[in-house]
Amino acid sequence: MTFLKVLILLAIFGMASAYNPYQSSCPDVEKISKAITGYFVAKNPTFAPGLLRMVFHDCAVRGCDASVLLDPTPSNNATEKTAVPNLTLNGYEVVNAVKAELERRCPGVVSCADVLALTSRDAIVAINGPWWYIPLGRKDGRISLASEVVKFLPSPRANISTLKKSFADIGLSSKDLVVLSGAHTVGSGHCNIIQERLYNFTGKGDTDPNIEASYAKELKYRCPQKEGDLTTVAAMDPISPKVFNEKYFTVVSQRKGFFESDAALLDDNYTKSYLQFQVNSGGATFAKDFAESMTKLVKIGLGFEGEVRKTCGAIFLL
């Protein structure tokens, strides 16, 4: 018996899970997700921020319907997966492993959308981050268009007005905006996204003046000027990039936010006030607030009509 199978069995015979619509049809869905996701994250902790980013990219476009997981086909060679912001998504193998085990135990029951929602949470819990409630029952969408990613996904280069509107358009508040930005406390950002910010901010070979000078120098060292580079990364939270905590807010308050969208949180009275509260209080409410905002996020599109795919990368044609 493999180590992975042992983990699954241990989880299944553990404490009873909370109520879910799969109570009769696939009662161990949450235990299976927790066991397999934890196994993958233990081997590669980057799956935790990767899956968190993936679920946001999914839910921000057409709701949480797993449309971000669909592979291109001859009839649609530009799915969401192929859009530039999604080329660096990380964690597909975790979703696929959980889905494969669920198909083995209860075929045709649990959607890929639910699997993505669960694995994103279980990955953060595996690195000692907060747990949040996930209402289950999503269906998988059949439509996935790269053009909609750029249209609906909030940009890391956006100003505060654009960010607030993007979040409001999907039913999230200014509080959700600043709270969910706190996800940048773990993981790395891709240097290609901040190239202009570091080397040509206004088109005159300059650096964004909103970046603290010593941090700008550090970022230039870690992110050398190189076009088309999708592999070079740097920590988004230089204080504690592997720990889920409130230090992201300290970083931003010091003008050391990695993205322009991070720095933009200082340009709004509410988001700046919330940010400063977390700094001053040592993150007194951050875990609770993050859990609440994530539950709101993963409810987007819950219950819409769709299908349950057999594999997460392809539409299930009956």
Query: Catalytic amino acids?
Result: 57
206 appears as a binding residue in the annotation: no
DSSP-H helix ranges across 240-303: 247-253, 260-263, 269-281, 286-298
CA 252 to each of CA 115, 216, 301, 303: distance values in angstroms, whole numbers, following the listed order: 32, 13, 31, 37
Strands 233-235 and 188-190: antiparallel
227 appears as a binding residue in the annotation: no
What's the per-residue H, E or C state across 98-154?
HHHHHHHHCCCCCCHHHHHHHHHHHHHHHCCCCCCCCCCCCCECCCCCHHHHHHHCC
67 appears as a binding residue in the annotation: yes
71 appears as a binding residue in the annotation: no
Q: Tokens in use for 238? A: 């230089």
Beta-strand (E) ranges in the chain? Answer: 188-190, 233-235
The CA distance from 82 to 147, in Å, is 10
3-state class (DSSP) for residue 3: helix
184 appears as a binding residue in the annotation: yes
63 appears as a binding residue in the annotation: yes
65 appears as a binding residue in the annotation: yes
237 appears as a binding residue in the annotation: yes
The CA distance from 56 to 298, in Å, is 8
Q: Which residues are annotated as a binding site for heme b?
A: 184
Q: Which residues are annotated as a binding site?
A: 58, 61, 63, 65, 67, 80, 154, 184-185, 237
Q: Which residues are annotated as a binding site for Ca(2+)?
A: 58, 61, 63, 65, 67, 80, 185, 237
